[in-house]
């Protein structure tokens, strides 16, 4: 399992992903789940993956090289819009599942996978999508400007309370780190390193890309201060009035 999230703001998009993969408690590895496709000034597209690692890696390969069996197939370097890119991811998922799913299920495995894709192509608007295992997809909106895949429930509360489309990119990056840290603390299937990428609207290039290791001083500080801050806030909350002096 893993946890990835994308936050689409008026000023750009923040992408963040953990990098843990586990096939049982005695088979834990680190694999990158965030991939960037960039032609500076012309396009920048980010893809994040969750689910069966063999399936997601096969899909990513097809997004880079073209879909199997399709002559002159598009790639993320040649699609003309982000909606075309989302459709390309959906077709790649279906092709890999059609090819491999029966063999995976025969070994009692699951071919399920989900993706987040976002970015901008010059002359087009910035967009963020979540693609499901069936190949269909939804787009981030003003009402819900973020997307999550993988082990999403633990990191969702801060996103719901804090994220708005007019939020600053660096604030959103901080929010993404706290969201992942909350998930790491609650689920052993999610762990650092964290891969992050930030893009500014209409630049069509990577503004920042960073891998955050477990011993990163900033991450450790944010994790510590967030935990302590929640504890202090909880202690300051008023007691329920209906108990009176009975407790």
Q: What residue segments make up the domains of the chain, in order of their start?
A: 3-236
User: Considering only CA atoms, which of 102, 18, 100, 6 is closest in space to residue 56?
Assistant: 100
Classify each residue of 168-204 as buried b or exposed e, where b means 16 or more C-beta atoms within 10 Å of its C-beta.
ebeebbbbbbbbbbbbbeebebbbbbbbbbbbbeeeb
Number of other CB atoms surrounding residue 103 within 10 Å:
10
The string of pLDDT tens digits covering residues 5-35 is 999 999 999 999 999 886 555 667 889 999 9
pLDDT tops 60 at residue 135: yes
Pick the CATH number of 3-236 from 1.10.40.50, 3.60.20.10, 3.30.10.20, 3.40.50.740: 3.60.20.10
Per-residue pLDDT at 25? 56
Assessment of whether the complete model's pTM goes beyond 0.85: yes
- For the CA atoms of 93, 2, 149, 46, the dihedral, rounded to the nearest 10 degrees, stands at -70
Determine how β-strand 146-150 pairs with β-strand 3-9: antiparallel
């Amino acid at each position: 399992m893993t946890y990835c999230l994308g936050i689409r703001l008026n000023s750009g998009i923040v992408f963040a992903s953990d990098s843990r993969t586990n096939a049982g408690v005695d088979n834990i590895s680190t694999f990158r789940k965030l991939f960037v496709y960039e032609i500076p000034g012309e396009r920048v597209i980010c893809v994040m993956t969750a689910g069966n690692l063999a399936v997601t890696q096969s899909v990513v390969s097809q997004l880079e090289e073209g879909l199997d069996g399709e002559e002159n197939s598009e790639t993320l370097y040649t699609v003309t819009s982000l909606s075309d890119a989302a459709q390309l991811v959906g077709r790649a998922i279906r092709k890999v599942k059609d090819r491999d799913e029966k063999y995976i299920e025969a070994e009692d495995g699951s071919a399920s996978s989900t993706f987040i894709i976002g970015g901008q192509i010059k002359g087009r608007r910035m967009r963020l999508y979540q693609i499901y295992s069936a190949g269909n997809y939804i787009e981030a909106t003003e009402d819900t400007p973020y997307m999550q895949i993988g082990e999403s429930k633990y990191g969702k509360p801060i996103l719901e309370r804090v994220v708005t489309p007019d939020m600053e990119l660096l604030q959103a990056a901080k929010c993404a780190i706290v969201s992942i840290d909350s998930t790491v603390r609650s689920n052993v299937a999610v762990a650092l390193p964290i891969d992050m990428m930030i893009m500014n609207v209409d630049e069509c290039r990577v503004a920042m890309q960073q891998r955050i290791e477990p011993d990163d001083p900033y991450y450790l500080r944010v994790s510590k201060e967030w935990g302590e801050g929640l504890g202090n806030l909880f202690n300051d909350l008023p007691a329920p009035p209906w108990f009176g002096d009975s407790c």
